[in-house]
Structure 1
Amino acid sequence: MSIWLRILPYVGAVLLFVGLLFGAYHHGVSVTDDKWQAQWAERDTRDEAARAANESAARVREQSYQHAIDKAVQDGQRTIDQLTADAAAERASRNGVQLEADKLAARLAASQDGVNSCTAASSAAASRAVLVLADVLKRADERAGDLAGYADQSHARGLTCERSFSAISQ
Structure 2
Amino acid sequence: MMTYLKAGAVLLPIAVVLGVLFAAYRHGVTVTDDKWQSKWDARDTRDTEAKSLNEAAERTREQAYQHSINKVVQDGQRIIDQATADAAAARTTADGVRLAADNLARRLATSEASGHSCTSAASQAAARNAAVLADVLKRADQRAGDLAAIADQARARGVTCEQAYDGLIRSSALH
Same fold (TM over 0.5): yes
Displacement of 1:98: 1.3
- The one-letter amino acid paired with 1:139 is R
Count, aligned residues? 170
Q: How does 1:53-72 map to 2 (within 5 A)?
A: 53-72=53-72
Pairing 1:11–2:16 present: no
Verify the 8 A CA contact 2:98 2:137 in the aligned structure 1: no
Instruction: Show the counterpart of 2:168.
Output: 168
Q: What TM-score, normalized to structure 2?
A: 0.89
Displacement of 1:4: 1.6
Instruction: Show the counterpart of 2:82.
Output: 82
In 1: Cα distance, 2:23 partner to 2:11 partner: 18
Instruction: Show the counterpart of 2:173.
Output: none
Q: What TM-score, normalized to structure 1?
A: 0.92
Gaps in structure 2 of 5+ consecutive residues: 171-175
SS in 2 for 1:160: helix
Verify the 8 A CA contact 2:76 2:160 in the aligned structure 1: yes
Q: How does 1:113-132 map to 2 (within 5 A)?
A: 113-132=113-132
Q: How does 1:145-164 map to 2 (within 5 A)?
A: 145-164=145-164
Pairing 1:98–2:107 present: no
SS in 2 for 1:112: helix
Percent of aligned positions with the same letter in both sequences? 56
- The one-letter amino acid paired with 2:123 is S
Instruction: Show the counterpart of 1:141.
Output: 141
Instruction: Show the counterpart of 2:30.
Output: 30
Task: State the superposition RMSD in angstroms.
Answer: 1.5
C-alpha distance after superposition, 1:29-66 (max 9, x if no partner): 11111111111111111111111111111121111111
Displacement of 1:151: 1.0
In 2: Cα distance, 1:118 partner to 1:10 partner: 157
Displacement of 1:116: 3.0
C-alpha distance after superposition, 1:125-154 (max 9, x if no partner): 332232122112211210111111111111
Displacement of 1:121: 2.4
Gaps in structure 1 of 5+ consecutive residues: none
In 1: Cα distance, 2:13 partner to 2:133 partner: 127
- The one-letter amino acid paired with 2:90 is E
Verify the 8 A CA contact 2:91 2:145 in the aligned structure 1: yes
- The one-letter amino acid paired with 1:29 is V
